[in-house]
Amino acid sequence: MTEQSTESPTEVDLLIIGAGPAGLYGAYYAGFRGFSVAIMDSLIEPGGQVSAMYPEKDILDVAGFPRVKGQTLVDNLVAQANQFDPTYYLGHRAEDMDLQDDYVDVTSHKGARLRCKAVVITGGIGTFTPRPLPDSDNWEGRGLQYFVPKLDVMQDKDVLIVGGGDSAFDWALNLRNIARSITLIHRRDRFRAHETTVDDVIADERIDVHTFHEVSRINGNERIESVDIFDNRTDEKRTIKCQAVVAALGFTADLGPLKRWGLEQDKRQVVVDTSMHTNLNRVFAAGDITTYDGKVKLISVGFGEAATAVNNAAPYIDPDKGVFPGHSSDKSKDQ
């Protein structure tokens, strides 16, 4: 994996902004089409939200993988992309874009300058920030976590999970054979998680689920020792012994500098057509950052969108190339 210096501008055929699953697969496809490619991401490691938020979560809906850990999927995508030696700009936020008829210039917040013939934006949801747990100041790093990058840190601990979405229920299932005890609370009795996951959690005797409950106070000295929770219907209070709290309350997202580039947007997403082209010349987008009629936000969908974007960018990069790439089974890198 190559880190490019910022001393001089670099020319590449294609720049991919965002090193999540869609961006990494797009980098592979650009290499497969014979293009030089650079990948830019504000995070210091590839993988986007998957690596940052749920590297040890089991992902069940990627074609060809009955079950795959998030970080394993990312590692495989990096290996696949690295067959064609992409240049990585990690820890670089794409800051400015200058559109010309024949090329696009992009500059990062660290001053890295790239000139490319096309851009594919795969920035996921943009910059994401966890929603804080109320009255939890100063407990982060002392037992309070918003993500669980390594499951084994919960070994033999009493864990309180707060939330009602997919992340809360996934953590409960993934930790049930690791933690000493698991309590999950949610402020109402309706959940945003997949129904089958909810059913699995509720049916598991190792997981104690309390609806209509919220956190009132975290107790402890150097680290969390217990948490006071209350029933928001009756105001009845109780104290739960725990050494770890996972606040899976979702996150806020911001497109950051992309908002001023002139991209057509619908709320916090970039509008694309069926070729994944944005309203800007030579600028395409793929993955969760995009929207169109019938959009479904799945990693598997993002893979297809990335391939569509790269192949439709091909004639902009090389007018002699068509959109259709041919079949990979008919080619090899050595040919």
Residue 130 pLDDT: 78
Ranking 20-29, 130-139, 164-173 by mean pLDDT, the lowest is 130-139
Residue range 2-128+252-330 in CATH 3.50.50.60: yes
Residue ranges for the known binding site for FAD are 41, 49, 54, 94, 128, 288, 329
| Average pLDDT score over residue span 90-95 | 92
Residue 54 pLDDT: 75
Residue 173 pLDDT: 93
**pTM of the predicted protein model:** 0.76
Positions of CATH 3.50.50.60 in the chain: 2-128+252-330, 132-249
Residue 6 pLDDT: 46
Ranking 3-17, 38-52, 184-198 by mean pLDDT, the lowest is 3-17
Cβ-based neighbours of 162, under 8 Å, separated by 6 or more: 133, 168, 184, 185, 186, 214, 215, 245, 246, 247, 248, 249
Cβ-based neighbours of 169, under 8 Å, separated by 6 or more: 184, 191, 193, 194, 197, 198, 200, 201
pLDDT interval class at 281 (50, 70, 90): very high
State the Rg of the chain over Cα: 22
Task: Please answer whether residues 230 and 216 qualify as being in contact, where contact means their C-beta atoms are separated by less than 8 angstroms.
Answer: yes
Cβ-based neighbours of 257, under 8 Å, separated by 6 or more: 93, 94, 95, 96, 109
Residue 90 pLDDT: 93
Pick the CATH number of 132-249 from 3.40.640.10, 3.50.50.60, 2.40.40.20, 3.40.190.10: 3.50.50.60
**What percent of the chain is predicted at pLDDT more than 70?**
95
> Per residue in 101-145, pLDDT tens?
999 999 999 999 999 999 999 988 766 677 889 878 789 889 999
Residue ranges for the known binding site are 41, 49, 54, 94, 128, 288, 329
> Per residue in 41-72, pLDDT tens?
988 889 988 887 778 788 888 999 999 999 99
